[in-house]
Amino acid sequence: MRDSASRVAESILEATDFSTEGARYEYNIEGIPPRAEPYFVIAFLDDNGTVDTSTPSLAGPDRGDLVSLDGFSSPQVTLSSPEVIMLDLDLNFSLPF
């Protein structure tokens, strides 16, 4: 499954600061095609500054970055019709590798 995964949409929030407790940022991602199967959502904070924002299609978390997990997996959302879905993502895990 992972080998066939592809990026569908993305949103980059520049100059975010999560150093204070309860820090929150709103985001909007448009253009995601509706489908019956859930999408996996990957949210991360590039805490070590290794992401090249000029090529976001290659961006991904690495060691020390905070990521949003739901148990042992990325959160999922199903968009069965073109509607607005609210999804709160907590950056709740630091990648050890």
DSSP secondary structure letters along 20-85: STT---------PPP-SSPEE---EE-TT----TT-GGG----TT-EE--BTTB--EE---SS---
Domain of residue 14: give its range.
Answer: 1-97
76 CB contacts (<8 Å, ≥6 apart)?
38, 39, 40, 41, 70
**Six-digit token string for 88:** 């709160």
Q: Is the pLDDT of residue 97 over 90?
A: no
Whole-model pTM: value is 0.83
Q: Is the pLDDT of residue 80 over 80?
A: yes
Counting residues of the chain whose pLDDT is more than 90, the rounded percentage is 61
Q: Is the pLDDT of residue 54 over 70?
A: yes
* Number of independent structural domains in the chain: 1
**Structure confidence by residue, pLDDT tens digits, 8-52:** 999 989 888 888 998 999 999 999 999 999 999 999 999 888 998
For residue 72, the number of C-alpha atoms closer than 13 Å in the C-beta half-sphere is: 0
C-alpha span between 49 and 45 (Å, rounded): 9
